[in-house]
Structure formats: structure tokens, C-alpha cells
């Protein structure tokens, strides 16, 4: 074993042991870990779920401390005598194509998939780890806007190809790989601002993938310069479907005040899936002002969209996926009860891999845990063979908890939960 491998091994083993030790609370809660949305206990619980496949009972894994949104919504569980039996079959699957019978019928086994994280914002190791977990759970992950690293190709049936405004790495073959193609109009963390990869992270490999110049910051402009209207958007959808007639089309948008109209517009443009990304979502780098004040949180956007689509009589023809601060199974269940069909995860996957939410993703060489970095040494801290299992374990814990929630609500399918705000209590 060479020196570099010994160093990597030393640190990965120590990280593994350290996370376990912190989660045991032997040293109490780490004093500087956590924030209102992801308090220390929730991070530790996620680490522990990623290790064991189950949420730990001794840590609060259901709520954050943000004093609003998900953290003030609770379930109105039935009396225990009315719960479904512990061994009841509860269906978590979610069909993604609800409108065109002739298009592929894709059903995922759990009502979530992984959101886009580009090559450059994260390493190829992270992308592959996520793709393997997606394959294991018969769901998806997304390329984000940074091209399609060759390591992802074996998992292409579970990888969404994202087309965003910079068109980085978008090629005919990467569209043809995909069972789902996603147009990213906006991102919740920086809505209306396009994408931004700082120069330090545009390494030679990243630049090659994006067909750009190494070490030069990359901006994905906002918005699509070819789209001024729903009709223009329709043209985009047609273009993708010409290249790959078998692909479902997803449209990722943010949460402006007229998010309901945006969803309807996407529907009329021919999308199968509308992915709504709320303002508290994750990012590799975004102006703090954008994360905090531009656009609305997902908890407030989804009911608006759901009710409007119901009124329009088209709710059952489109799949609404929600993202932007969805941290755990409880959040997934809540957003579905508020009107979404499913959820899209990003930060939760990274926390499973060891993220501390320190917000230094963009600084210098990038993430010191090897997540949001393409630094050739730091990125070795993630090893897909080992770390796909961590994400997969988290998914197992989430599925377990989601089934438990449904069981206590007396529901046999997650699809029965959609829009059931009567099953929620605000406190």
C-alpha cells in the first residue's frame, strides 16, 4: 500500500470511528455542530442511520429547530388500536409518468430520488456512490449540470441527465443514456441567479468534462436564453424527445410567487414531472442573500401548487416532486401530505456520507470531507464501494420510518397520503 493510500485509510477509519463516537453521545453533542435546520442531533442521527440502516432512538431524527415549516408540522396519528399491523404490506412506490400511456412507465420503489449535484461541485466518487444507492433502491439520482463522468455510465438507468442553462457537458449521447431528462430552470438556493462554480473547483478534469478552461469560474447564465415562454419551453421538450423519444421529461423550477402558474405552464409544455425546489435547498456555492430571502420555502409552495392543479383538473396527470430542505422521512411524509407526490434529496445524501453542514464547500480545495470537492487527494476520502452503502442504509432507515408513519395513519400506500393536510397538526 503506498503512502497516499495509508494516509487515506488512516483518516477514513478515524472519521468512521469518530462519527460513531459522537453519535453515542459519549462526549455530549459537538458544540459547534448543527444549525436551526439541521441541529446536531439530526446530523448525528443521520450519520448513525447511514451506518446501521436504522434511525437511532436516542437521537431526535424527526425535527429540526427552525421554528417553522416542517418543524412545526406533526402527524395526527390514529389511536394505537387502529394502526395497521406491524407486518402490513405498505406500498412506497411511485409512478413517475401519469399522463402519456405510450411513454415509458417508470415506477420508483420509494417516493424520492436524488437531486442534481454536478461533477465539479462534487467528486465523481460521490456521484457514483449516489448512483449505486439509487440502483439498489430502484430510484434515481441526477447528474446536475457538469457533464456525465464515465463512472456513471454503468448506472445510467438510474441517472437523470440534467440540462441546465450553461449546457455544460450536455451531449446527444448523455441525453440518450437517460430514462429521465431534467430541464433545470432554477435552483432553490439561488433562484434566478444561474449556477456558479468557483475557479478553484474547475480542475483540469472538471474543465475537460465541461469543455471549459481550467481554474476559471464558470457561470451558468440565468435563464435559458432560448426560452421566453411556455411555447419556447415546449420547443425544448420536443427537442429532447426527438433525441430520446423514450425519456420522461422533468422540469426543475424554483418557488416564485406564481409557482402555481409555473407548474401549469410546465404541464402544458409536456412535462411528465415538475420538480419544485424550495428556497432552503442546498448548494455548493450561493450568495447568502439568495439562500435566505429569494423565493419561498418548499412547505409553502407545494400546497399552493397542489391546490391550483386540482382546481385546473390536471393534478392526477402530473407528478410533483419537491425539494429544498427535505432532511428525513418525516419531511418526506409531510411534503407529500401537503400535496407533493414525492421528494428529491440532496443534502441528506451528503450528510449520510459525513457532511457536517459547515458551509465551506466552496472554500479553497473544497470540502475537507471529500464530498464537495474534486481535489484529487480529498476526494479519495469517499469510496463508492463503501459509501454507496451509507446512502443505501439511510434510504433503508427512511423507508422504515415512512412505513411506520403510514402504518400509524392507517394508510397502505404512500400515494394515499398525497394532499392529506387533515392528517397534519400545526404546533
Partner 1 sequence: MRHDESLYHRYHIETRDAPDIEAWPPRFQVKVRRHRLAWLLLKEIFHYGPAKKEVILSRPCVYGVFSGPIGGFAPRPHLCVGCLRCTTQYPDVVQIVPNPERQKLGDSYFTAHYVNTVAYEAATGRVPVRGAGYRGRFGGQGWDGMWTDMSEIVRPTRDGIHGREYISTMVDIGVRPDHLAFGPDGQPVEPPRVFGVPLPLLFDRLPQVEANPALTRILAAAAREIDTLALLPVAALAHLAEPTPHIVPVVRATETVPRLPFAPRMVELDGWDPAAYQRLQQAFPQSIVALRLPFGDRPTLAAAFAAGVRVFHLTADYHGQLPDGRFVMDGIREAHLFFVEKGLRDAVTLLGSGGIIAAEHVPKAIILGLDAVAIDTPLLVALQARFAGEFRRPGDAYRLPKRLPEGWGVQRLKNLAASWRDQLLEVLGAMGLRDVRRLRGEMGRAMFQKDLEREAFGEIEGYLEQTATSGEPTAASREPMAVR
CB 59 within 8 A of CB 48: yes
Return the number of the residue (368 or 384) whose C-beta is nearest partner 1. 368
Residue 216 interacts with partner 1 (CB under 8 A): yes or no: no
Residue 88 interacts with partner 1 (CB under 8 A): yes or no: no
CB 92 within 8 A of CB 415: no
How many amino acids of this chain bind partner 1 (CB under 8 A)? 109
Chain centre distance of CA 103: 24
Span near partner 1 by CB under 8 A; candidates 49-57, 127-135, 299-307, 397-405: 299-307
123 grid coordinates: 467528486
Residue 123 interacts with partner 1 (CB under 8 A): yes or no: no
Beta carbon of residue 51, minimum distance to partner 1 (angstroms, whole number): 13
Span near partner 1 by CB under 8 A; candidates 95-103, 168-176, 242-250, 361-369: 361-369
Chain centre distance of CA 59: 23
Site for partner 1 in 190-209 (CB under 8 A): 191-194, 196, 198
Cis peptide before 223 (omega within 30 of 0): yes
List the x/- string, 243-282, binding to partner 1 by CB under 8 A.
----------xx-xx----x----------------xxxx
**Cell 393536510 sits at which residue?**
421
**Cell 412506490 sits at which residue?**
93
Count the neighbouring beta carbons within 10 Å of the beta carbon of residue 50: 25
Residue 410 interacts with partner 1 (CB under 8 A): yes or no: no
Beta carbon of residue 109, minimum distance to partner 1 (angstroms, whole number): 27
Residue 138 interacts with partner 1 (CB under 8 A): yes or no: no
Residue 287 interacts with partner 1 (CB under 8 A): yes or no: yes
Return the number of the residue (31 or 150) whose C-beta is nearest partner 1. 31
Near partner 1 by CB under 8 A: residue from 154, 214, 221, 245: 221
CB 276 within 8 A of CB 298: yes
Return the number of the residue (171 or 420) whose C-beta is nearest partner 1. 420
The DSSP secondary-structure symbol of 413 reads B
Return the number of the residue (108 or 423) whose C-beta is nearest partner 1. 423
- Dihedral angle over CA of 361, 350, 114, 77, nearest 10: -130
Question: Which bin fits 127, alpha (ψ -120 to 50), beta or left (φ > 0)?
Answer: alpha
**Cell 470537492 sits at which residue?**
373
Near partner 1 by CB under 8 A: residue from 156, 304, 403, 418: 304
188 grid coordinates: 432553490
Beta carbon of residue 346, minimum distance to partner 1 (angstroms, whole number): 8
Beta carbon of residue 213, minimum distance to partner 1 (angstroms, whole number): 16
Amino acid at each position: 500500500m503506498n503512502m497516499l493510500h495509508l494516509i487515506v485509510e488512516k483518516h477514513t477509519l478515524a472519521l468512521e470511528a469518530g462519527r460513531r463516537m459522537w453519535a453515542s453521545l459519549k462526549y455530549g453533542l459537538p458544540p459547534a455542530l448543527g444549525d436551526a435546520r439541521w441541529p446536531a442531533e439530526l446530523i448525528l442521527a443521520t450519520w448513525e442511520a447511514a451506518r446501521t440502516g436504522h434511525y437511532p432512538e436516542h437521537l431526535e431524527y424527526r425535527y429540526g429547530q427552525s421554528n417553522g415549516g416542517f418543524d412545526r408540522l406533526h402527524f395526527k396519528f390514529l389511536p394505537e388500536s387502529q394502526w395497521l399491523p406491524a407486518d402490513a404490506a405498505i406500498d412506497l412506490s411511485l409512478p413517475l409518468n401519469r399522463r402519456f400511456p405510450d411513454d415509458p412507465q417508470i415506477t420508483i420503489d420509494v417516493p424520492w430520488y436524488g437531486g442534481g449535484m454536478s461533477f465539479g461541485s462534487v467528486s465523481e466518487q460521490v456521484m457514483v456512490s449516489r448512483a449505486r444507492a439509487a440502483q439498489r433502491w430502484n430510484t434515481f439520482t441526477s447528474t446536475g449540470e457538469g457533464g456525465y463522468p464515465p463512472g456513471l455510465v454503468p448506472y445510467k438507468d438510474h441517472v437523470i441527465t440534467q440540462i441546465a442553462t450553461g449546457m455544460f457537458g450536455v451531449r446527444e449521447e448523455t441525453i440518450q443514456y437517460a430514462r429521465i431528462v431534467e430541464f433545470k430552470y432554477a435552483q432553490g438556493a439561488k433562484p434566478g441567479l444561474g449556477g456558479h462554480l468557483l475557479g478553484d473547483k474547475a480542475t483540469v478534469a472538471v474543465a475537460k468534462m465541461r469543455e471549459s478552461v481550467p481554474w476559471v469560474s464558470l457561470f451558468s447564465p440565468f435563464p435559458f436564453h432560448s426560452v421566453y415562454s411556455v411555447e419556447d419551453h415546449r420547443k425544448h421538450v420536443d427537442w429532447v424527445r426527438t433525441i430520446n423519444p423514450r425519456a420522461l421529461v422533468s422540469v426543475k423550477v424554483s418557488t416564485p410567487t406564481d409557482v402555481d402558474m409555473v407548474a401549469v405552464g410546465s404541464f402544458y409544455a409536456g412535462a411528465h414531472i415538475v420538480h419544485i425546489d424550495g428556497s432552503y435547498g442546498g448548494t455548493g456555492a450561493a450568495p447568502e442573500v439568495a439562500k435566505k430571502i429569494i423565493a419561498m420555502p418548499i412547505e409553502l409552495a407545494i400546497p399552493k401548487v397542489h391546490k391550483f392543479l386540482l382546481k385546473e383538473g390536471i393534478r392526477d396527470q402530473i407528478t410533483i416532486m419537491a425539494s429544498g430542505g427535505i432532511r428525513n422521512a418525516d419531511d418526506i411524509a409531510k411534503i407529500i401530505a401537503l400535496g407533493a407526490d414525492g421528494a428529491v434529496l440532496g443534502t441528506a445524501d451528503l450528510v449520510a456520507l459525513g457532511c457536517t453542514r459547515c458551509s465551506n464547500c466552496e472554500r479553497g480545495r473544497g470540502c475537507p470531507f471529500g464530498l464537495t470537492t474534486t481535489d484529487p487527494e480529498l476526494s479519495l476520502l469517499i469510496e463508492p464501494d463503501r459509501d454507496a452503502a451509507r446512502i443505501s442504509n439511510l434510504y433503508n432507515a427512511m423507508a422504515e420510518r415512512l412505513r411506520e408513519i403510514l402504518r400509524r395513519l392507517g394508510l397502505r400506500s404512500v400515494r394515499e397520503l398525497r394532499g392529506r393536510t387533515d392528517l397534519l397538526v400545526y404546533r
